[in-house]
């Protein structure tokens, strides 16, 4: 009589184990078994490695500019629509006869709200954001961050948004502002697997580079703005630089609920996915631009935790510079011919 074979050990697929016990799952990947092994995230990336971006411009024919950006399993569509705001519709608007500076023209764009970003997450992009739900706190905070960064970076010159009446040479008067372009920047998430800010900002930058505004002028007889329908007469925005964002999450090598007193290693995980975001409480986003040949920090934000110090910020800045080179090359290759 043969001896029955012992029962097979209980085992789970990787995705089941990740859902049942996500913290040990990620820690087991990051904490190598030997000193010679390399830390690898659950996705197979190194801690400092970003997901490969994919960009396609001009997908929306009804918009003045558009872009589709996919970073890993996060996909964003951005469309820029241009609408005309008459100066006569702005309460108390008056153009002084004196010359005004570029900074004042840029400030005018913010005061008149000529750049209007809006983020839509309630698309079923993830189980947390189902259709027909009211705007989430994440969507509102992302819209506010992008609005603030659009103006603080001064990437869109205010002069590009002005529409003038023809000057009268015999009167030697400067051309008067009769209207403005208002750019509505609609950002729609198709899928979301972590790091929404970087993907949304990359889509905004790519769509702005794709914008072609119709040639517009003020008709004094009709007292309205007329636009040239020919696409060949449309003009691009004269954008200042190409700021690129990079976000990192700090993962602590201990479970705060079980082992709060023991010192533990930490990992700086750039471009975190949804699993990593759910296990981290400290995040840093940095926006850089090296168009001038020197790296400049355009924006910086940090949320939670005491881990990030000068050394970690120096590392993140180096990673951000690498990411800027990568995305700039990709964006340049997708720009329409002048």
Question: How much is the pLDDT for 335?
Answer: 75
Tokens 């100066």 -> residue? 87
For residue 327, the 8-state DSSP code is H
Burial 223-256 (b: 16+ CB within 10 A, else e): eebeeeeeeeeeebbebebbbbbbbbbbbbebee
Distance CA(63)–CA(186), nearest Å, equals: 10
**Neighbouring C-beta atoms of residue 124, cutoff 10 Å:** 15
∠ Cα 286 289 294 (to 5°): 115
Q: Is the Cβ–Cβ distance between 26 and 42 less than 8 Å?
A: yes
Question: How much is the pLDDT for 175?
Answer: 75
Q: What are phi and psi of 147, to 5 degrees?
A: -60, -45
What's the chain's length in residues?
Answer: 338
Helix 310-334 to helix 196-210 angle (10° resolution) is 40
Question: How much is the pLDDT for 150?
Answer: 97
Question: How much is the pLDDT for 97?
Answer: 45
Domain 40-48+244-334 identical in fold to domain 53-236: yes
Superfamily the domain 40-48+244-334 falls into: GHMP Kinase, N-terminal domain (3.30.230.70)
Tokens 């996909």 -> residue? 75
What are the extents of the domains in the chain? 40-48+244-334, 53-236
**CATH (residue range 53-236):** 3.30.230.70
Tokens 């396609």 -> residue? 56
Q: Is the Cβ–Cβ distance between 280 and 247 less than 8 Å?
A: no
Q: Is the Cβ–Cβ distance between 110 and 241 less than 8 Å?
A: no
Q: Is the Cβ–Cβ distance between 286 and 54 less than 8 Å?
A: no
Question: How much is the pLDDT for 308?
Answer: 84
Local confidence pLDDT in tens for the 338 residues of the chain: 566 666 555 566 767 767 778 888 898 888 877 777 788 998 899 999 999 999 999 989 899 999 999 999 999 999 999 999 998 888 777 655 456 788 888 888 899 999 999 999 988 899 888 888 888 899 999 999 999 999 999 999 999 999 988 765 555 566 788 899 999 999 999 999 999 999 999 999 999 999 999 999 888 888 889 898 888 889 999 999 999 999 999 998 776 555 554 567 889 999 999 999 999 989 999 999 999 999 999 999 999 888 788 899 999 999 999 999 999 999 988 776 65
């Amino acid at each position: 009589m043969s001896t029955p074979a012992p029962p097979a050990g209980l085992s789970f697929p990787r995705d089941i184990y990740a859902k049942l016990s996500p913290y040990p799952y990620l820690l087991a990947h990051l904490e190598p078994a030997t000193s010679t092994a390399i830390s690898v995230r659950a996705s197979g990336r190194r801690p400092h490695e970003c997901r490969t971006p994919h960009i396609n411009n001009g997908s929306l024919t009804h918009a003045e500019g558009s872009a589709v950006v996919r970073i890993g399993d996060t996909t964003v569509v951005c469309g820029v629509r241009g609408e005309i705001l008459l100066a006569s519709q702005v309460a108390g608007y008056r153009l002084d006869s004196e010359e005004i500076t570029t900074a004042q023209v840029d400030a005018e764009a913010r005061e008149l709200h000529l750049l209007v970003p809006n983020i839509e997450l309630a698309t079923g992009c993830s189980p947390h954001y189902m259709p027909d739900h009211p705007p989430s706190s994440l969507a509102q905070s992302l819209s506010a961050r992008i609005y603030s960064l659009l103006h603080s970076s001064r990437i869109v010159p205010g002069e590009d948004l002005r529409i003038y009446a023809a000057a009268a040479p015999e009167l030697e008067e400067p051309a008067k502002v009769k209207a403005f372009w208002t750019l509505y920047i609609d950002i729609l998430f198709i899928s979301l697997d972590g790091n929404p800010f970087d993907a949304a900002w990359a889509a905004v930058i790519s769509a702005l580079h794709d914008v072609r505004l119709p040639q517009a002028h003020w008709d004094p007889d009709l007292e309205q703005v007329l636009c040239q329908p020919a696409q060949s007469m449309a003009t691009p925005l004269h954008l200042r630089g190409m700021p690129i964002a990079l976000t990192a999450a700090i993962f602590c090598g201990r479970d705060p609920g079980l082992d709060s007193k023991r010192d533990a290693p930490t990992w700086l995980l750039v471009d975190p996915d949804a699993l990593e975001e759910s296990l981290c409480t400290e995040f840093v986003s940095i926006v850089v631009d090296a168009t001038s040949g020197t790296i400049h920090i355009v924006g910086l934000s940090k949320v939670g935790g005491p881990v990030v110090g000068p050394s970690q910020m120096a590392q993140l800045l180096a990673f951000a510079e690498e990411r800027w080179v990568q995305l700039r090359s990709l964006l340049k290759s997708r720009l329409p011919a002048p």
